[in-house]
Amino acid sequence: MKIEGKKRVLREMVLHRRFEERCYQAYIERKIGGFLHLYPGQEACCNGVMEAARPGHDYVITGYRDHVHAIKCGADPKEVMAELYGKETGSSKGRGGSMHIFDAAHRFMGGYALVGGPFPLAAGIAKAIQLKGGDEIAICFLGDAANNQGVFHETLNMAALWKLPVLFVCENNLYGIGTSIERSTAVIHQHKRVAGYNIPADECDGQDIEIVYEHARKAVDHVRSGNGPFFLELMTYRYRGHSMSDSRGYRSREEEELWKQRDPIFILRDRLIAAGELTMEAFEALEKETDAYIENEVIKFSEDSPEPRVEDLEKYVLADRETQTPWLTGKAA
């Protein structure tokens, strides 16, 4: 990564961090309801991989911890926040909520609430790419615990069998809600689990974006060159609880502190400062600027936007009804 690129990515990561922290606050203020899963601590994973890929061109799919992935693909933070506010201007028109951010225009194929659900969908998207002959790839970001669903294995087998252009990124944050990985999974290093399917795999530090980027580049190249699937495991940590009702009793404050010393944003910041490309003052100014943007534009837009109309309750349920397609009545011309 060139210095200019690094500065831009730092800027983005700060936005991602502050956006999520602002969500936390909005949840406390009851502006956001339902389940809310936040991303702080894991920013280098999504950013590192997507810097090596082509955001907005490659298809991305993930679970319920999805805000940052959507924004990285090109979704407008205003629309993502409006979705969390349940507004008509939200990325899913207020129908989806935090766990279901979608932005098809930017090829962000969504956040899904059922653990493991996106695995085969990603393979299906890759199948469509293969059929249509494009140079895109499908990227599936999921957690470590998701690999315990049977569909993980079913998908790996099919993806390898049919040489589908799909990159599986496992963000191994060592926990699935309150269960630590060694209590739920026989193998801690997830990349070892895919060897049986003849899928090449790699593992690296998920806190240092430059390391993620280097490994992701090889992974993306492999998939884009038509060699079939690849599995990339990133060792990372989520700083907050799993969702909002989580007092983190299952892990120690010391463990959290250790990981906070490997904060992905600070790692990049300090490297830029050491290289003389950034000052601490400039970084602090960036944080302030970001907060101002979030407050004055993102939050304001979300607050000011209208709610969906109750008359539209049944909108978006069935396609043919809405567009009155001729085959609904068998009168196709």
Partner 1 sequence: MANIMYWEAIQRAHDEEMTRDPLVICMGEDIGVAGGTYKATKGLYEKYGPLRVMDTPISEGGFTGLAIGASFLGVRPIVEIMSVNFAWLAMDQMFNSAAKIRYMSGGQLEAPCVFRSAGGAAHQLGAQHSARMEKVFMGIAGLRVVTPSNPKQAYGLLKSAIRSNDPVFINEHELMYNMKGEVPDTEYFHPLEGSDVTRSGTDVTLFGYNISVHWCLKAAEILDKQYGISAEVVDLYSLAPLDRAGIKASVSKTHRAVIAEEDEAPVGVGSEVIAIINEECFFELDAAPVRVHSALVPQPYNHTLEKAAIPDHEDVVKAVLKLFGKA
Ligand X SMILES: Cc1ncc(C[n+]2csc(CCOP(=O)(O)OP(=O)(O)O)c2C)c(N)n1
Positions in the binding site for ligand X (CB under 6 A): 65, 113-115, 142-146, 173, 175-177, 242
- Using alpha carbons, select from 48, 179, 63 the residue that is nearest to residue 112: 63
Contact pick of 187, 292, 313, 328 for partner 1 (by CB under 8 A)? 313
Is 233 a binding residue for Mg ion by CB under 5 A? The answer is: no
Contact pick of 41, 77, 116, 118 for partner 1 (by CB under 8 A)? 116
Candidate segments 73-81, 141-149, 211-219, 262-270, binder of Mg ion by CB under 5 A: 141-149
Site string for partner 1, 162-201 (x = CB under 8 A): --------------xxxx---xxx----------------
> Cα separation of 159 and 114, whole Å?
20
Tokens of 199: 């899928």
Is 252 a binding residue for partner 1 by CB under 8 A? The answer is: no
Neighbours of 106 (CB within 10 A): 20
Candidate segments 108-116, 121-129, 205-213, 272-280, binder of partner 1 by CB under 8 A: 108-116
Binder of residue 34, out of ligand X, partner 1, Mg ion, none (CB less than 5 to 8 A by kind): partner 1
Q: Which residues from 201-230 bind partner 1, rule CB under 8 A?
A: none
> Cα separation of 312 and 26, whole Å?
26
The smaller minimum CB distance to partner 1, of residues 181 and 267, is found at: 181
> Cα separation of 258 and 250, whole Å?
16
- 305: amino acid identity, one letter: S
- Tokens 């993306």 -> residue: 220
> Cα separation of 197 and 158, whole Å?
9
Least Å distance, CB 21 to ligand X, is 18
Strand partners, 143: 171
Q: Which residues from 35-74 bind partner 1, rule CB under 8 A?
A: 35
How far is the CA of 176 from the CAs of 74, 173, 185, 313, in angstroms? 28, 8, 10, 34
Least Å distance, CB 48 to Mg ion, is 17
